[in-house]
A = this chain, B = another copy of it.
Amino acid sequence: MRKALYPGTFDPITNGHLDLIRRALGVFDRLTVAVGTAREKDPMFTVDERVEFIRDAVRDLDGVDVISFRGLLVDTAKQAGATAIIRGLRAVSDFEYEFQMALMNRRLAGEIETVFLMPSESYTYLDSTIVKEVAILGGNLEGLVPPAVERELMKRGGGGESA
């Protein structure tokens, strides 16, 4: 059985992340989505909220686990029994950061391969940051995030600075 780990901040999960989860399940038998606790300095949602949003969004998909993690990513991958780390590649600006992380992870654990998948072109320019910006300004997020995330973002947004 082929298992993979899909790590990220997911603050919050978007439909681009969901698209990637579905694609990963076409290549691997099981997928662990792993929510990192750091990186994003000032997250909008707690780790528990982010895990809940993902669990809710993937509840109809077979073979997906959702966890949070601390410490080295490669250690989490080993504990999950994953032989691959999944990352989405959308644009050139992703590319070099992702390669840097992948090469460092290869140094730390050579037996785990980083595997890059390409999201649907509808999501090329979608990420959590722009979703939060639009929410804060009161813009419409339909089709960009799962419905539960949309409702929560609408509740918290609406104050309004310039985009």
Tell me the A residues contacting B by CB distance below 8 Å.
2, 7, 23, 26-29, 36-39, 69-73, 76, 83-84, 89, 91-93, 95-97, 99-108, 111, 113-118, 121-122, 124-125, 127, 130, 134, 137-140, 144, 160-163
Contact = CB atoms under 8 A, between A and B. Distances in A.
A139 B26 contact: no
Contacts of A36: 161-163
A34 to B, nearest CB: 8
Nearest first, the 4 closest Cβ-Cβ pairs linking A and B are: A38-B161, A36-B162, A116-B116, A100-B125
A139 B72 contact: yes
A108 B139 contact: yes
Number of this chain's copies in the complex: 6
Contacts of A71: 137-138, 160-163
A100 B73 CA distance: 28
Contact of A83 (B26, B91, B138): B26
